[in-house]
Copies of this chain bind each other. A is one copy, B any other.
Amino acid sequence: MIKSIEEEFDYTFKSEQQKAIINLKHTSNWLSNIHHNYMIQYNLSMAQFNILRILRGAKDFISVTTIKERMIEKSPNTTRLMDKLMEKELIHREKCKNDKRVVFAKISKEGLELLAKIDLTFNDFFQAYNLSDQEAKELNALLDKMRS
């Protein structure tokens, strides 16, 4: 059974629009919670996981700036997230020779192995749950319009 947000919080909203705002935040938190609890078993935060995935996607060394650009959930402190990944030896880091301001990073063998392990069950967790393809499409359109 579908439980609306009014039922869940025993609260009546002034308008569908205001309800949508709260519903959106609530659903996003609900999702983040699921994702956080999923990642915690691998001792990774979502931000760390995202950096790892970016690095896997990049295949080769890429700069910190490039990582920052590709991060969907922006984090103000990529350097320190990378420190954590270094500690766990999930990435490599080295200075660029041409431009000494730049630092390059690359995923390590251990990092790839960890991601491979996560991949096995990843899709079960990072899905839009009960939405059909068509419904997910509608949701995307509405969200895009909201921000436009």
Contacts and interface: CB of A to CB of B under 8 A. Distances in A.
B137 A26 contact: no
Interface in A9-37: 9, 11, 15-32
A142 to B, nearest CB: 5
A120 interface: no
A interface, over-half SS: helix
A14 to B, nearest CB: 9
Interface of A: 1-5, 9, 11, 15-32, 70, 72-74, 126-131, 133, 135-140, 142-148
5 contacts: A5-B143, A19-B140, A20-B140, A21-B127, A129-B147
